[in-house]
Amino acid sequence: MSSNAKRILPGFGLSLGYTLAYLGALVLIPIGGLVLRSLRISPSDFWHLATTPRALAAFKLTFSASFVAALINSVMGTLLAWILTRYSFPGRRMLDALIDFPFALPTAVAGLTLADMFGPHGWLGKFLVPLGIKAVYSPLGVTLALTFVGMPFVVRTLQPVLESLDRDVEEAAAVLGAGRWTTFRRVIAPLLFPPLLTGFALSFARAIGEYGSVVFISGNLQGKTEIAPYLVWLRLEDYDYDGAMALSLILLVVSFVLLGVINTLERWAGRFQT
């Protein structure tokens, strides 16, 4: 067999070279610059910059609100994906298109809309505020914004799995006397669990890096509603480059860990479904 026949694609070497160059210019070089710049900070100074009370409060709010938002999206996203794949009803296509709305809508616009809607005089706020439920300028508002931006990841991860499920297996379970809840728990849920974990991880990772939709509804109150990405921006505004680099490196490490978790879950889901 000739060497040309062994090639997977014509021009593979050239295409791979362009791909690596493009990826390096957009991703690897900026990330490498951040890491190299952070290495110039001594370990003691890095620890001090990353563990100030303000930084710890920002990290606590960022990770906790992102986790809660991902949990909410896991539950509601599963329900939405189930309805969109199992039922036909008027407006189904419109609802399916709205799932991708957070992808297309600028995050700043989303933040302004949520702040206006849940404000004291907003459509929902005028009913919630008298009940003591304050979404604007509170951790609840941060969680709402992060839930909004992360919702499509769970739905779009689960939809293909639900569409590919063999209905014959469900019918066989029903013939054998299994009820709907038993069928879902014993047959459907084990198949949905791996992609659901992937959707949760994607939603969580997206929420950690969110900025635009949060700053308007959170009020950026120091130690209360200030998120880590906003604190990075403040450090840069104050020309505190070491502080910004320290916080950014922590977010970068967390993002890489989540990326590894997502890839592991996707491989696990692929083996589980085959």
Please provide the CATH number assigned to the domain covering 61-226: 1.10.3720.10
Total residue length of the chain: 274
CA gap 142, 234 in Å, rounded: 18
Query: What is residue 8's DSSP assignment?
Result: S
Q: What is the pLDDT of residue 168?
A: 66
Rounded to an integer, what is the distance from CA 64 to the centroid of its chain?
Answer: 13
- Domain locations in the chain as residue ranges: 61-226
Three-class SS of residue 30? helix
- Residue pair 258/251 in contact (Cβ under 8 Å)? The answer is no
- What is the per-residue pLDDT for 9? 59
Please report the pLDDT score of residue 273 as a whole number. Answer: 55
Rounded to whole angstroms, the Cα distance separating 80 from 99 reads: 9
- Cα-based distances in Å from 29 to 23, 25, 132: 9, 6, 48
Q: Report how far residue 254's alpha carbon sits from residue 208's, in angstroms, rounded to the nearest whole number.
A: 9
Inter-axis angle of helices 228-237 and 241-273, nearest 10? 150
- Residues 229-267 have pLDDT tens digits of 999 999 989 888 898 899 999 988 888 888 788 778 767
Which two tokens mark 200?
């949760």
CB of 111 within 8 A of CB of 213? yes
Residues of the chain with confidence (pLDDT) below 50: 1-2, 5
